């Protein structure tokens, strides 16, 4: 999938799997998360399982559109949030040296396009720590709205903190 600035591609190689495992176990990249995986082998096994077609998880390597080397700059994810309600959740992470250049917004737009146009979902949701201004800004910029604030939902940095819940409906996506 190609956006204006990025390409999202499924995990294709052992190198891709190594990249996603390194990203998933990097505490600095997931600073605002309540929990970060530490065991690289278990993380590898998890993502191998997620690649099976019957599992409704889609993991993508993000690379810059104009980069012929396909150097990975981040990871984008979408997974089934509620099958009955036809909704998917999204997530993303961009390496620090590529942040604040529009790559996160473009990757998120591509995730929404994939969810609505290929998966035919009814609703896409995303959540973030209330202190994660960057992630909240991305979701708002791509047309998602803040539907809820879950008060003291996350135990982060040794204190309870709020979590934002964003969403966009299929009708909103196609009417923007």
105: domain CATH number is 3.40.630.30
Q: Is residue 65 part of a domain?
A: yes
How much is the mean pLDDT over the chain? 93
Domain that holds residue 51: 6-174
In a domain, 103, yes or no: yes
Distant-in-sequence, close-in-space partners of 171: CB < 8 Å, separation ≥ 6: none
Rg value, the chain, Cα: 16
Would you place residue 176 in the very low, low, confident or very high pLDDT band (cuts 50, 70, 90)? confident
Q: What is the arithmetic mean of pLDDT over 157-173?
A: 97
In the predicted model, is pLDDT for residue 50 greater than 80? no
- 136 Cβ partners below 8 Å, 6+ apart? 128, 130, 146, 164, 166
In a domain, 31, yes or no: yes
Q: How far is Cα 35 from Cα 156, in angstroms, rounded to an integer? A: 8
Q: What is the pLDDT of residue 125?
A: 98
Domain membership of residue 1 (yes or no) is no
**Structural domain includes residue 16:** yes
Helices 40-50 and 14-24 cross at an angle (nearest 10°) of 120
Q: Which two tokens stand for residue 32?
A: 């605002």
Burial of 72 from C-beta contacts in 10 A (0-12 / 13-18 / 19+): buried
Residue at 68 is within a domain: yes
pLDDT tens per residue across span 84-143:
999 999 999 999 999 999 999 999 999 999 999 999 999 999 999 999 999 999 999 999
**In a domain? residue 23:** yes
Predicted pLDDT of residue 44: 83
- Six token digits for residue 150: 């879950």
53-70 burial, b if ≥16 CB within 10 A, otherwise e? eeeebbbbbbbbeeeeee
Confidence (pLDDT) at 166 = 99
What is the rounded distance in angstroms from the CA atom of residue 110 to the CA atom of residue 112? Answer: 5
> What's the predicted TM-score (pTM) here?
0.91
User: How many structural domains are present in the chain?
Assistant: 1
Task: Extract the tokens encoding 106.
Answer: 């473009």
Q: What is the pLDDT of residue 154?
A: 96
Q: Is residue 88 part of a domain?
A: yes
Q: What is the mean pLDDT of residues 9-32?
A: 89
Find out whether 23 and 91 touch, Cβ atoms under 8 Å: no
């Amino acid at each position: 999938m190609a956006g204006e600035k990025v390409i999202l591609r499924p995990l294709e190689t052992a190198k891709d799997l190594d990249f996603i495992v390194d990203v998933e176990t990097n505490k600095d990249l997931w600073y605002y998360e309540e929990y970060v995986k530490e065991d690289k082998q278990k993380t590898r096994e998890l993502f191998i399982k997620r690649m099976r077609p019957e599992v409704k998880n889609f993991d993508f390597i993000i690379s810059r559109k104009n980069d012929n080397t396909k150097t990975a700059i981040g990871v984008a994810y979408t997974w089934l949030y509620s099958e009955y309600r036809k909704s998917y959740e999204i997530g993303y992470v961009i390496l620090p040296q590529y942040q604040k250049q529009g790559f996160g917004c473009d990757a998120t737009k591509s995730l929404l396009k994939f969810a609505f146009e290929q998966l035919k979902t009814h609703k896409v949701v995303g959540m973030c720590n209330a202190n994660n201004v960057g992630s909240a800004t991305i979701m708002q910029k791509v047309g998602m709205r803040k539907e809820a604030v879950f008060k003291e939902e996350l135990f982060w940095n040794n204190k309870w903190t709020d979590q934002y819940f964003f969403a966009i409906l299929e009708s909103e996506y196609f009417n923007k």
